[in-house]
Amino acid sequence: MPRSLLRHPGRPFRMVSPATSALPTDRGVFRAIKARTLWCVLAVLVTAGTGCARTTPAKDEAKVPLVEQIGQLASLRETKLVPLREELARLEEENGLPWQLMEALPPPDENLAAVFVDLFPADRLPGILAEGEQHLQALRDPEANPGGLAEARSYRERFEPQRLLVRTALRRPKCVFPIRFTAGFAADLGFLDQVTAAVQLERLFALEAVAQGNSADAAGSVVAQLQLSAALAAGKHPLVRFSAARHRAAALNVLQELVLSKSFRRQDAVHAYDELRRQIAIWPPDANAWIGARALGLHALEAAKRGRLYDILTREELTDFQEQYDMKSLVKQVRQNADADALYFIRAMVRVLAISSQPFFQRRAELDRLATAWSEALMQDPPPFVSCRVLLPQVAPGQAIQARDRANVEAWLLALRTALGDPPQQPPINPWTGEPYQVEAHDGWVYVQGIGTGEVGRHAAIEIPVLPNPKADATP
């Protein structure tokens, strides 16, 4: 980084490390969406219900909001940098540009996602989420008092119509959320809060059922939570994929509470096992999320080329950069170097996509090498700043979220399979750690350890009772 851009030339340049940067959460993919300075205002201008796919950009820009105009990548597509033109042409052939990732919406009665349109009042949703989390905390408390349980039940029953609507909608054959990749980080993902509220209600319902000794209802609720998680995971927006992982881990922790209850039965385990086995069979490629991330990155780079660097930064990044750089000079340099920056980003994502099909433990070394290369690229003059300081540092944490998600599910599949009397000859390899899961069975219980994620089970292990098959044990 040229020292002329630094406000404090004597201060070492602080690189964002993929290993230590904040993990993407449900409140922000790599970028915290609600922290955008301009996009949050512009997003409300995006016309609702126009999620149909297109093979070419919109023609009448006068009718297209600015945020969506940027999604057409007009400035980048007009580049004089021949390799960038070639790469963009390749992406268009692969249907990887922002407007090409927007799927046509099925009829509402066929689309699970349609149930989340105003399922809960938008103005009340923050309070609903906060109150729901409070009740979940109370139910998880081992010393929860009856009054707290009654309050949680009363809260859940207030929204029972919404819970039942979602249960019915789970029977619909398709699920396509109206994600406008052409809006970049400003795309309206309000449905994620709607889904979170619905999942909270199912978790409350399941924990109540466990407390009441109704294991069948609890198992059905866990399966519904897993199905909602899988529906989110099927898309290509990285934030939506990462949100799915969080909901799935929460559902598996409710499953742990269920299997430890006295009412837990073999059929409950079969119900959960069948759903997890189905999800593993259709597990979406990790690369899908990075195809979506690449489209978001191109939107950000188009904005940078238009001199709108401020609009693609989180508040935290903006504060950080203002302390380190002369922002006027930085905006100018980023704008002038945007084509080279975009070319660097596209080529970097080629490698990211290439390794995404490998088990995560096999990717670690390459991710470390890539992180080093991206850090060294920031020493160039001029550097690919947006790529290496804003976008690419979040690849490793995002891939880690995906890997832990898969490891959690495979650990539970192993536990359920073993408890049901069909253990594998050898424990499978944990995709997160690269080591075999550790399975112990004694005193009528199965323990699966070596998960390594810290997200499921109790005391770093899944515990489940052995569940013999009555038919197999019956005397002929």
Instruction: Flag whether pLDDT at 84 surpasses 60.
Output: yes
445 occurs within a structural domain: no
262 occurs within a structural domain: yes
**CA of residue 411 relative to chain centroid, distance:** 20
Which string of DSSP letters, residue by residue, matches 400-451?
Answer: HHHHHHHHHHHHHHHHHHHHTT---SSPPBPTTTSSBPEEEEETTEEEEE--
Give 178's pLDDT tier (boundaries 50, 70, 90).
very high
Provide the b/e sequence for 295-330 (b: ≥16 CB within 10 Å): bbbbbbbbbbbbebbbbbbbeebbeebeebbeeeeb
Provide the b/e sequence for 49-62 (b: ≥16 CB within 10 Å): eebeeeeebeeeee
Other beta carbons less than 10 A from residue 468's beta carbon = 13
Least confident residue range of 147-161, 241-255, 458-472: 458-472
Place of tokens 């009340």: 124
101 occurs within a structural domain: yes
Instruction: Flag whether pLDDT at 8 surpasses 80.
Output: no
452 occurs within a structural domain: no
The mean per-residue pLDDT over the stretch 267-273 comes to 98
Range of the domain at 7: 1-120+159-433
382 three-class SS? coil
Place of tokens 């002929």: 476
Give 458's pLDDT tier (boundaries 50, 70, 90).
confident
Q: Residues 403, 404, 406, 412: what is their CA dihedral angle, to the nearest 10 degrees?
A: 160
- CA dist 254 and 237 (Å) reads 26
What's this model's pTM, rounded to 2 decimal places? 0.87
451 occurs within a structural domain: no
Place of tokens 């002329």: 4
User: pLDDT tens-digit profile of 289-321?
Assistant: 999 999 999 999 999 999 999 999 999 999 999
Q: Which of 106, 123, 124, 104 is nearest to 115 (CA)?
A: 106
The mean per-residue pLDDT over the stretch 263-274 comes to 97
Domain total in the chain: 1
214 occurs within a structural domain: yes
At 190, which helix (H) or strand (E)?
A: none
456 occurs within a structural domain: no
130 occurs within a structural domain: no
User: pLDDT tens-digit profile of 329-341?
Assistant: 999 999 999 999 9
